Amino acid sequence: MVKVGLVRCEGAMRICPGTSCFRAIREKTGSFAQYSDEEIEIIGMAPCGGCPGRDAVRQAAEMVRRGAEVIFLGTCMIKPIPSEPVCKYSAEIAEAIRKKTGVDVVMGTH
Ligand code: SF4
pLDDT tens for each residue of 76-99: 999 998 888 899 999 999 999 999
Q: Which atom of ligand 1 is nearest to the CA of 86?
A: 7
Q: What is the pLDDT of residue 92?
A: 98
Distance 37 CA to ligand 1 centre (A): 32
Distance 12 CA to ligand 1 centre (A): 8
Distance 105 CA to ligand 1 centre (A): 16
CATH number of the domain within which 75 lies: 3.40.50
Residues of the chain with pLDDT under 50: none
β-pairing, 70-73 vs 2-8, is: parallel
pTM for the model: 0.96
Q: What is the pLDDT of residue 83?
A: 85
Domain count, the chain: 1
What Å distances lie between residue 81 and 66, 69, 99, 109, CA to CA?
28, 25, 27, 11
Q: In which domain, by residue range, is 86 found?
A: 2-44+53-107
Distance 50 CA to ligand 1 centre (A): 5
Pocket of ligand 1 (CB under 6 A): 9-11, 48, 50-53, 77, 87, 89
Strand positions, DSSP E, 1-110? 2-8, 40-47, 70-73, 104-107
